[in-house]
């Protein structure tokens, strides 16, 4: 009997889970992949920095292969929770895997955090990567100083983006609105606040070393702390920081400062962000933009248990309820690189397959044709694999003319117009 599985979310976790299922020898399986956007790839499209194209290329190739499998159907522009409920999917399919990532962010719990000009990294990253949800974020780069709270890899992405020469971004897939804002940017200094010391910073060494390649950017470090008894990875991190701080940059264009052992106490401003009050002897710091890069956060899924503290759906090896599973950031929290989701998905799929072998998964109330008809009735603008390929082709073609990997469409209606034109052309030919 063919097992029918719904996967919610076409990010790395969802695609790795689909890949594992479809590559299981001897298993007859069909996968329906639900994605709230017309475009797949999750944070590979809307998170990974535009100046890291090689990562996107490798992952794009790998996932295109999975998406093209004949046993998989892509249901883009279908939001679970809006167009179809999680409980309905549990009824329609033998099993459901939720791979919806982390759609929210951790907050600092400070006064002034909701002032315009204080954005979460999630909002800012989605803005420069052309995610339809944040294309209208009113980002103002007319200030001289930006403060980033947090010392993770995302914080380094933001610092790099704000300080590198804009010409370097002109050949990337950064959103057009972000490129225009960065061309006009008056930002001269980016200060990264770390509540702990450099030895405890969450960023990785390769990402830190990359800052050394930024043209005309001076780097300063304030607050070294204790350095004894650390492992070699941390020793390398400290050595890199020391090298970066010791470099002489003639006539620097911009400056990045790591300010360790420093926390914001409040964000102040009259109608928008103007300054931060800092812990200890640090006093206050003027800033026109504050970015909270303190981590993403999962959000609840209707009908499933939720650990509000950790922002995850509690699970055992990925299983939440009989026939209902999680994988990726919604399963284990907002940490780990793209590849980490492969082993995570393998664990979830492994559990699912054991349940299947034991005959503990139901058959699902709807067959493949009935599901598609029902979805089309509820969401006439459903985007299938052909629709996504039309968008993909049009974006790449637009990019080709400008020496860019693609020019992203950032609006759902723009994407739908493109899909409909593609359909019309297909009918003409």
Ligand X SMILES: Cc1cc2nc3c(=O)[nH]c(=O)nc-3n(C[C@H](O)[C@H](O)[C@H](O)COP(=O)(O)OP(=O)(O)OC[C@H]3O[C@@H](n4cnc5c(N)ncnc54)[C@H](O)[C@@H]3O)c2cc1C
Ligand Y SMILES: NC(=O)c1ccc[n+]([C@@H]2O[C@H](COP(=O)([O-])OP(=O)(O)OC[C@H]3O[C@@H](n4cnc5c(N)ncnc54)[C@H](OP(=O)(O)O)[C@@H]3O)[C@@H](O)[C@H]2O)c1
Residues that bind ligand X (CB under 6 A): 8-14, 34-37, 42-43, 47-48, 52, 55, 79-81, 99-101, 103, 125, 154, 157, 296, 328-329, 336-338, 340-341
String of contacts with ligand Y for each residue 20-49, x by CB under 6 A: ------------------------------
| DSSP three-state, residue 154 | helix
Least distance from ligand X to the Cβ atom of residue 15, Å: 8
The residues near 350 (Cβ < 8 Å, ≥ 6 apart) are 317
Among candidates 185, 175, 159, which has minimal Cα distance to 293? 159
Q: What are the structure tokens assigned to 94, written together? A: 């033998």
Question: Which option in ligand X, ligand Y, none does residue 112 bind, with CB closer than 5 to 8 A by kind?
Answer: none
Least distance from ligand X to the Cβ atom of residue 46, Å: 7
Least distance from ligand X to the Cβ atom of residue 387, Å: 15
Closer by beta carbon to ligand Y, 113 or else 392: 113
How far is residue 290 CA from its own chain's centroid? 19
Interaction between residue 355 and ligand Y (CB under 6 A): no
The residues near 136 (Cβ < 8 Å, ≥ 6 apart) are none
DSSP line for 10-28: -SHHHHHHHHHHHTSTT--
Q: What are phi and psi of 19, to 5 degrees?
A: -60, -45
Which of 68, 302, 337, 370 touches ligand Y by CB under 6 A?
A: 337
Interaction between residue 295 and ligand Y (CB under 6 A): yes
The count of residues in the chain is 429
Residues 249-288 contacting ligand Y, CB under 6 A: 263
Closer by beta carbon to ligand X, 35 or else 218: 35
Interaction between residue 294 and ligand Y (CB under 6 A): yes
Under 8 Å between Cβ of 365 and 4: no
Interaction between residue 298 and ligand Y (CB under 6 A): no
Hey, which bits of 251-359 come out as E strands? 254-259, 264-268, 275-278, 284-286, 289-292, 296-297, 319-321, 324-326
Closer by beta carbon to ligand Y, 57 or else 426: 57
Q: How far apart are CA 347 and CA 350, in angstroms?
A: 5
Closer by beta carbon to ligand Y, 258 or else 388: 258
- Among 68-76, 152-160, 214-222, 316-324, the segment contacting ligand Y (CB under 6 A): 152-160
| DSSP three-state, residue 129 | coil
Least distance from ligand X to the Cβ atom of residue 133, Å: 9
Interaction between residue 348 and ligand Y (CB under 6 A): no
Under 8 Å between Cβ of 201 and 194: yes
Residues that bind ligand Y (CB under 6 A): 106, 108, 149-155, 157, 195-196, 200, 202, 207, 263, 293-296, 334-337
């Amino acid at each position: 009997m063919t097992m029918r599985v719904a996967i919610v979310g076409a990010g790395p976790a969802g695609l790795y889970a689909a890949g594992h299922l479809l590559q299981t020898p001897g298993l007859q399986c069909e996968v329906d992949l639900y994605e709230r956007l017309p475009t797949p790839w999750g944070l590979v499209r809307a998170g990974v920095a535009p100046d890291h194209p090689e990562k996107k290329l490798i992952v794009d190739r790998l996932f295109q292969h999975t998406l093209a499998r004949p046993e998989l159907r892509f249901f883009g522009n279908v939001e679970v929770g809006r167009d179809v409920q999680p409980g309905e999917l549990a009824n329609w399919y033998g099993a459901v895997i939720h791979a919806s990532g982390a759609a929210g962010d951790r907050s600092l719990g400070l006064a002034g955090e909701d002032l315009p000009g204080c954005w979460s990294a999630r909002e800012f990253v989605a803005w420069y990567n052309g995610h339809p949800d944040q294309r209208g974020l009113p980002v103002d780069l007319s200030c001289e100083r930006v403060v980033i709270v947090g010392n993770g890899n995302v914080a380094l992405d933001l610092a790099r983006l704000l300080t590198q020469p804009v010409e370097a971004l002109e050949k990337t897939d950064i959103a057009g609105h972000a490129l225009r804002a960065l061309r006009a940017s008056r930002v001269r200094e980016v200060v990264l606040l770390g509540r702990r010391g450099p030895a405890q910073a969450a960023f990785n060494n390769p990402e830190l070393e990359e800052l050394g390649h930024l043209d005309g950017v001076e780097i300063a470090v304030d607050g070294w702390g204790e350095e004894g008894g650390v492992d070699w990875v941390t020793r390398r991190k400290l050595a890199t920081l020391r090298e970066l701080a010791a470099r002489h940059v003639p006539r620097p264009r911009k400056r990045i400062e790591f300010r360790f052992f420093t926390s914001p106490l409040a964000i102040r401003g009259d109608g928008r962000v103007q300054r931060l009050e800092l812990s200890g002897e640090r006093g206050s710091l003027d800033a026109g933009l504050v970015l909270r890069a303190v981590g993403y956060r999962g959000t609840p899924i209707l009908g499933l248990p939720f650990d509000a503290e950790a922002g995850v759906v509690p699970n055992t090896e990925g299983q939440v309820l009989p026939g209902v599973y999680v994988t990726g950031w919604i399963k284990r929290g907002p940490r780990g690189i793209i590849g980490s989701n492969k082993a995570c998905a393998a664990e979830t799929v492994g559990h699912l397959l054991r349940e299947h072998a034991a005959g503990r998964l139901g058959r699902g109330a709807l067959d493949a044709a009935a599901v598609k008809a029902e979805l089309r009735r509820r969401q006439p603008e459903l985007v299938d694999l052909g629709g996504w390929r039309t968008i993909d082709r049009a974006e790449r073609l637009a990019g080709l003319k400008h020496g860019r990997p693609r020019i992203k469409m950032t609006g759902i209606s723009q994407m739908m117009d493109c899909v409909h034109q593609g359909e019309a052309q297909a009918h003409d030919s």
